[in-house]
Structure 1
Amino acid sequence: MPREYIYTLLFALLAFRMLVIVFHELGHAVASLFHSDGKVSVYIGSYGNPKKSFQFQIKRLEFFVKYNLFAWKGGLCIPHGKKVTWKDRMYISLFGPLTTLTIGIISGILLFVVEKFSLPSILLFALAFSCILDFLFNIIPRRTQIKLHDGTFANNDGKQLVHLWNIRKVYETYNKASNHYVAKEYIKAAELFEKCIDDVSENKEIYRFIISAYIQAKNYQKASVFQEKYTENYDMYFNEHDFVAVGIIEIYKRNYAKALEAFEEVNDLLPNNYLILNNLGYILGLLKRYDEAIDYLDESVLLDESFSYAIDNRGYCKIMLGKLEEGYADLQTALELDDQNSYVYFYLGIYYFKKNAYQKALEYYQKAFELDPETHRIQEYMDEVLEKLQH
């Protein structure tokens, strides 16, 4: 094969890879138009990021096409209609990969018509290969989730189809629960998800939602009950989200060593994540391993200098090491970044307690309690300073 044909093939594979994203999302979009009653948002080149995108609308279809073609990561189609049935969801999920499969098959058939090793045959091969690859990549269920622009996660089409099949008997209840979850009505969401468990054969995702909802609602006792059931049945399927849930629950059960183990697992799966590094530092602080904690917290701050929790946790560790003014400086920085962070006031209370300014310490503890009564260990510290003030 002449060298120019090889270059053409490579260029075509690159170009068609991007074109296939368009085909795939248009497949979802067309299905959404027929099977939903509201606006349909289509993101080409991103997982839901409207910024730095060319935006236009055709009736109910709203498009966001990322300007930088070389930064394209995939696509996303969101039907906004409220009357979307289980069958509608199945069609919408299926039509993306089916569209690329159809184009791939047609391109493959045309390969037998055109002259071999000609420019048309190279282009058709590149198109067929790209489409079939896209179909396989999306129709085969994958455990790894896709992180969307808003921070939430989604499954690939194949995993979504399996999930929809599993929840077919409880689709309406599941949908209501999901809507409550999105609206941050976590107790209502958890209670509805609980009703779905017995009627769903493969219910890992439902357990995850229940555990997450109870954690968000700060009902750690209920979260722990479902986490134990989930671990008993599905520990071999644990991902980073599961280890995070275990870690959070173990913190509030005061099993700090187990919490540390869980977050170390997450750190192996998600290295250089400022949130995980902060949690590792926080737990090491609870275990009184302050120097080790500061190492992790320094890394977290380097990754995100505006993350107040890492800065205030570092300030706490410095205070506990006797470096009161260094710790106080960190707490002031954290306070400037987020004056609604209850832990900043909690740690400021500890700072003033260390300086024997008990009334001042109590004021800061009370402020922390007002912001969040679930601030870890706040009540025992308030009891301690009240005892001091009574003597």
Structure 2
Amino acid sequence: MKAENPFYYLPSSQLFPIDGPLAGLDIANSLTAKLKIAKEYTINNSHEEALSVYNELIEEFPNYPFLYACRSILKTRIEEEEGAFYDYQVAKRLDFNYHNALEWINNAGEMVESEELQELIANEKQEEQYYINRATLFVQHFEYQKAIDDFTKAYSLGNNPIVLVSRGAVNMRMVKYNQALSDFNDALKQDNSLMQGYIFRAKLLAAIQEFELADMDFNKAIELSDGDANVYEERAQFYELREIWDLAIADYTTVIELNPEDFYVYVLRADLYEKSNLPQKALEDYNRAIELNPYYSDLYQYRGDIRQSLGDEHGAKEDYAKFEELEEE
């Protein structure tokens, strides 16, 4: 992987416009220099100046999700909610991990601790499973750094590489990609048969657009999966991201063969058949999905659209009416 990959080093820099010292991966170039200036503007409440920096960078680099995430955070800070939501949507579309990162930044410390978490905090034990359990609850409360700390304690007690994968997954939620990649690499060095390690590393590599490396890891996970449908579904989503419809369809077909009663996989494959200009196959999948789950209203709208595209106006009208009926219920 190239260190100068901006999809990797920008989030790893953690140069978000939030209060606090500079932290994260230190990459010196003109882009990070401007991000440091924008962060300093934000800390000094020079919001218009910071916004100007982000506007300029996004105009120059419209495909970098980190920039939209930064502008979303700044707009939230100055209560431009509509603009903040738009930028959040763009960042999430470009890399879904920014959904988790922005939730973390906006919600950390805001949730009331559950009784279960309070009990664990009050009764600390120097046991691996205790720290794993508490870390899991911290994740649910958007206390990602506390979760990282607990997974670190758990690993020190058991040297379990699965714990490194779990810690890496939390680092990935914070888009601390350098730390996440280090965790996944260390876990797989310790145990190169960890399917979950390859899956998470593949998803990270896909997020930073290192597609060839991601493909290798997904293939390795498939080798280790022993027919696990979830692994094929993960790889199918990776192929969707790259708009390689035929390979995604092939993987969803395998998922269906392994789990033929899951209605939603038919929906996922139908969508790809539509994108591949195969409406009749899409219709067949929607038919099967409705057989399996006749009360899911959206299916009728999807099938109605397909029927209309195929010239079946009567069938489309029936489906739209059924959609409205179920929505009212």
Shorter-chain TM-score bucket reads 0.3 to 0.5
* Higher percent of residues as strand: 1
Report the TM-score, using the length of structure 1 for normalisation. 0.38
RCO (CA 8 Å, sep 6+): is it higher in 1 or 2? 2
Q: Flag the structure with larger Rg.
A: 1
Higher percent of residues as helix = 2
